[in-house]
A and B are shown apart, each in its own frame.
Chain A
């Protein structure tokens, strides 16, 4: 009698994980291009003359030049935040504040300089566009947007999707009416810095009643060492419109740090809805200090979906000012802090009108020497009667060396507000692992499953390909999570 050997099949999930491990064993966006072929740089460090030079280079109207200079003064005056993450290693004098990679914007991928083309090929952008997964795309390399495309049918409906510099040139009146109204130049030190040296970003206007059915998309890439990227995004959603904007961010790994300090302003007019999704995957030498704020008018809905996987330090608290009756704000936030990372992220909801509702769901995972902090504000102004807010923060710790904090602020000036806050902290429990191992699932895979389950409430809100990407990134970060 011969004995038949039965080879047990490796489960799909297991195989996937091995593939992911091989594919992504390194930070896969960590390559760098040559950094000597730039068309223009403002040099290291920042002075008022440098700020003026950026404005002159861009041929901006006088009011913008003045605004930049005023913001620069505010930047110099404002103190560094004395709370949150440790920012003492940022060397402001070493940073390049403005770097232009190419003299002109390309009209098609083939027109891009070859080395930059190659970068974006690696990031998979043209493929997404070819497959018509997105309605429009922007690609920013260092300080300037090099490629921009919006679907023709949307253009015919009046949708404006430009890089912010072009937005200023082509729609100056509309631009001036809204720019820096949601986040004033002296709002905080980094918003002031951005207002002084901003370059690139997206300028989007969705006309009344227009619903953009698939997402508009932007990619941000830092290549140069010690680069500071300061893109500026302004979105105006006219009454009854809808848009979903998605951004992704990557950078090479260098030994010295880079700074990313964006400002995003969004105006959601009556009955409109805007969803803004970020999967931030900066390399672990980027300080990511971002100010994002939206105003939601009557019955409008603003949703921030915020994934913070990369960066060395992130301080980011997407905000919604609910200024119109019945407005609704939502923040879904996932953070993952691995060795050496501090994700200080959260949300702000300011209820300034009656019958407004807000909802914050934060899921954070920490591992190794990583630290996640949820920091959030719910403010109910006097007169915002019948406001409702619910905040839920869940933290998952994968080992005994990581750290997690919860800093919820609730400031209530209205007697009939309904405010709830809940937080939980958990770890991958021995019971859960034992149960899954008894079902034949090994420890690594069981842990990965638990983490996937943990972030599922947020992953399911993402467009499919982003959901997959989020899971892949977390799988990569999870490598070797269990001793």
Chain B
């Protein structure tokens, strides 16, 4: 079979024909394939957007592409919710199951196989698929990055979501991406929300405990005028999975986007949640929580492009680290010269729990327009001895107090996130990480105690 480096025109044509894809889609895959031939794999010394993840050392693109699907049925945290969700399940490179509640079907909501939709809903899929991966020439999720272009050419399992105009959904659409077989996985998601539509999409990424895989994923979302969208992406991989993700939203006039990523699993995770604010008054809130442990490398790159007036963005990423781990927050806010009245804020906070961890923060701003409000900040610190002292003085055992402080640190991110099950599921993941940790190794910063002593 083929790997990401040994793709051929014949193999792609064969796979496309086997999936009964329409000619336009096959041609588009081949065009993307031709673009990959002109692109080298990223060079982390030369490519600014890859500086924060050493591509050659940490990622293996020589592995076979996994196709054909598997019979594993991974658990979803949404199973415990008393709401009926739509569910699409990608296992080992194939879409193996799609369930859509009757109520959603009745409202005209589509959750379906992307290859099929490309033939049956040409008018919806053709203008949207790949529109965001090739639209910009500069930046992270660009058509000039071979890891993204290769997904354009060779994605093996795709989900298409369409929420028609003015349809408001109260229950989430869940996409599970599961890797059981080792190799390269190429999932693809395209979601289109009509004007005034409202929906939430959960992505759950899981794997077998020993699965050694590279998952190269592209999610594109187009939110038309005044649509409201929540995307929640859980990275719960086993410890031998590398994940490259571009999750990019195009936000039209007055749309409201919230994107929450919860990254706890995986070996190397390079995660690009991006928003192009293309319509006046659009709003985006990229949120992130992450907890990195021994051997993990998380490179989180929220990117917001203000391309229209009076749009708002508010980035908040909070992470904790322990063991020999590394996190990189590389945020970027670009404000175009026409984006008057932009209001933007970008923040990153890291809590380093034990020795050996390293947290890098690069909250960038690129501003071509003066009539705006922009701020950003970042802070790195550790558990505050004063808080710990207070809690233990109230009779709370030290270990419990440490857990409360770390959980409390993350709660800020969830603020008004009222999506069913999300906060609990995220905090459960973090609790599990803390429970597994040796709390006696947690470092406590006594600066606040000293400051008080001085006064």
Among A350-408, those with CB < 8 Å from B are 382, 386, 395, 397-408
What CA separation (Å) do A418 and B378 show in the bound complex?
Answer: 11
Tell me whether A421 is interfacial, beta carbon within 8 Å. Answer: yes
B377–A422 CB distance below 8 A: yes
A425 to B343, CA, bound (A): 11
Given A82-B48, A417-B380, does the pair A412, B370 have CB atoms closer than 8 Å? no
Q: Is B360 part of the contact surface with A, judged by Cβ < 8 Å?
A: yes
Of chain B, the residue at the smallest CB distance from A377 is B362
Residue of chain B at shortest CB distance from A389? B380
Q: Are A405 and B365 in touch, CB under 8 angstroms?
A: yes
Q: A83-B48, A401-B337, A416-B443 are in contact. Are A411 and B378 (CB under 8 A)?
A: no
Contact call B367/A404, Cβ cutoff below 8 A: yes
Would you give the 0/1 interface string for B375-392, flagging 1 where the beta carbon is closer than 8 Å to chain A?
111111110000000000
A22 proximal to B (CB < 8 A): no
* Chain A residues in 8 Å Cβ range of B374: 423-425
Asked if A442 CB lies within 8 Å of chain B CBs, one says: no
B445 — which chain A residues lie within 8 A by C-beta? 416, 418
Q: Is the CB of A418 within 8 A of B381?
A: yes
The number of chain B residues with a CB under 8 A from chain A is: 38
Answer whether residue A413 sits at the interface, using C-beta atoms and an 8 A cutoff: yes
For B360, give its contact among A395, A409, A418 (CB under 8 Å). A409
Option from A407, A415, A423, A427 in Cβ contact (under 8 Å) with B375: A423
Q: Is B273 an interface residue (CB 8 A)?
A: no
Q: A395 to B340, alpha carbons, bound, how many Å?
A: 16
Q: A401-B337, A410-B361, A427-B370 in contact; A418/B447 too (CB < 8 A)?
A: yes
Per-position 1/0 for B197-214, Cβ under 8 A of A: 000000000000000000
Contact A400 B370 (CB under 8 A): yes
Q: For residue B286, give the distance in angstroms from its CB to the closest CB of chain A.
A: 18
Chain A residues positioned under 8 Å from B372 (CB to CB)? 425
Question: In residues 403-450 of chain A, which contact B (Cβ within 8 Å)?
Answer: 403-427
Q: Which residues of B contact A399 (CB under 8 A)?
A: 370
User: Does the CB pair B370–A402 fall under 8 Å?
Assistant: yes
| In contact, A403 and B380 (Cβ under 8 angstroms) | no
Q: Indicate if the CB atoms of A410 and B378 lie closer than 8 Å.
A: yes
User: By CB atoms of chain B within 10 A, which of A402, A408, A426 has the most?
Assistant: A408
**What residues of chain B lie closer than 8 Å to A417, measured between beta carbons?**
352, 380-381
Contact A397 B367 (CB under 8 A): yes
Provide the residues of chain A in CB contact with B362, threshold 8 Å: 407-410
What residues of chain B lie closer than 8 Å to A419, measured between beta carbons? 361, 378-381
CA distance A481 to B381 in the complex (A): 42
Q: Which residues of A contact B363 (CB under 8 A)?
A: 406, 408, 421, 423
Contacts of A423 in B (CB 8 A): 363, 365, 374-377
B 59-112 contacts with A by CB, 8 A: none
What per-residue 1/0 map shows which CB atoms of B350-377 lie under 8 Å from chain A?
A: 1011111111111111111111101111
Residues of B within 8 A of A410 (CB): 360-362, 378, 380
In this assembly, does B18 line the interface, its C-beta being within 8 Å of a C-beta of chain A?
A: no
A395 and B367 contacting across the interface, CB-CB below 8 Å: yes
Task: For A400, give its contact among B359, B371, B378, B443 (CB under 8 Å).
Answer: B371
Q: Smallest distance from the beta carbon of B186 to chain A beta carbons, Å?
A: 29
Q: Determine if B358 and A413 form an interchain contact, defined as CB atoms under 8 angstroms apart.
A: yes
> Is B48 a contact of A412 with CB atoms below 8 Å?
no
Evaluate contact between A412 and B379: CB separation under 8 angstroms.
Answer: no
Q: Is the CB of B366 within 8 A of A420?
A: no
> Chain B binding site: helix, strand, loop or mixed by DSSP?
strand
Given A400-B371, A420-B377, A421-B377: A415 touches B361 (CB 8 Å cut-off): no
With A406-B376, A411-B358, A416-B443 known to touch, is A427 a contact of B371 (CB < 8 Å)? yes
Give, as a whole number of angstroms, the nearest-CB distance from A197 to chain B: 26
What residues of B have a CB within 8 angstroms of the CB of A420 in the complex? 377-379
Q: How far is the CA of A483 from the CA of B21 in the complex (A)?
A: 58
Enumerate chain A residues within 8 angstroms of B377, measured Cβ to Cβ: 420-423
Closest chain A CB from B374 CB (angstroms): 4
Q: Is A421 touching B370 in the complex (CB atoms < 8 A)?
A: no
Q: How far is the CA of A414 from the CA of B358 in the complex (A)?
A: 7
Q: How far is the CA of A426 from the CA of B370 in the complex (A)?
A: 7
Question: In whole angstroms, how far apart are the Cα atoms of A403 and B337 in the complex?
Answer: 8
A7 to B60, alpha carbons, bound, how many Å? 81
Given A83-B48, A400-B337, A412-B380 contact (CB < 8 Å) = yes
Bound form: Cα–Cα A419–B359 in Å: 11
User: B40 contacts the other chain (Cβ, under 8 Å)?
Assistant: no
Q: How far is the CA of A320 from the CA of B353 in the complex (A)?
A: 28
Q: In chain B, what residue has the closest Cβ to A405?
A: B366
Q: Which residue of A lies closest to B381 (CB)?
A: A418
Residue of B nearest to A395 (CB): B367
**B367, B381, B443: the one within 8 Å of A403 (CB):** B367
Interface core residue of B337, B356, B365, B445 (most chain A CB under 10 Å) = B365
Shortest C-beta distance, A185 to chain B (Å), equals 20
Minimum CB–CB distance for B298 against chain A, Å:
14
| Chain B residue contacts of A83, Cβ below 8 A | 48
CB of B1 closer than 8 Å to a CB of A: no
Query: Contact: A415 with B365, CB < 8 Å?
Result: no
B447 contacts across to A, CB distance below 8 A: 386, 416, 418
B46 beta carbon closer than 8 Å to chain A: yes
> Which residues from B are CB-within-8-Å of A414?
352
Instruction: A403 to B335: give the CA distance in the assembly, Å.
Output: 9
Tell me whether A412 and B364 are in contact (CB under 8 A). no
Contacts A416-B443, A421-B378, A421-B379 hold; do A397 and B364 have CB atoms under 8 A apart?
Answer: no
Within 8 A of B (CB), among A64-111: 79, 82-83
Q: How far is the CB of B143 from chain A (nearest CB, A)?
A: 19
- A407, closest chain B residue (CB): B364
Nearest CB of B to A345, in Å = 15
Alpha-carbon distance A231/B441, docked complex (angstroms) = 51
Can you spell out 13 A-B residue pairs with CB atoms less than 8 angstroms apart?
A82-B46, A403-B367, A409-B360, A410-B361, A412-B352, A412-B359, A413-B357, A415-B354, A419-B379, A420-B377, A423-B365, A423-B376, A425-B370
Binding site for A on B (CB under 8 A): 46, 48, 337, 340, 350, 352-372, 374-382, 443, 445, 447
Given A400-B370, A415-B382, A417-B381, 12 additional A-B pairs, CB 8 A = A398-B370, A400-B369, A405-B366, A408-B364, A412-B350, A413-B357, A415-B354, A419-B378, A419-B381, A420-B378, A421-B376, A423-B377
The 9 closest A-B pairs by CB, nearest first: A397-B370, A415-B352, A427-B370, A406-B365, A410-B361, A425-B374, A413-B358, A419-B380, A405-B366
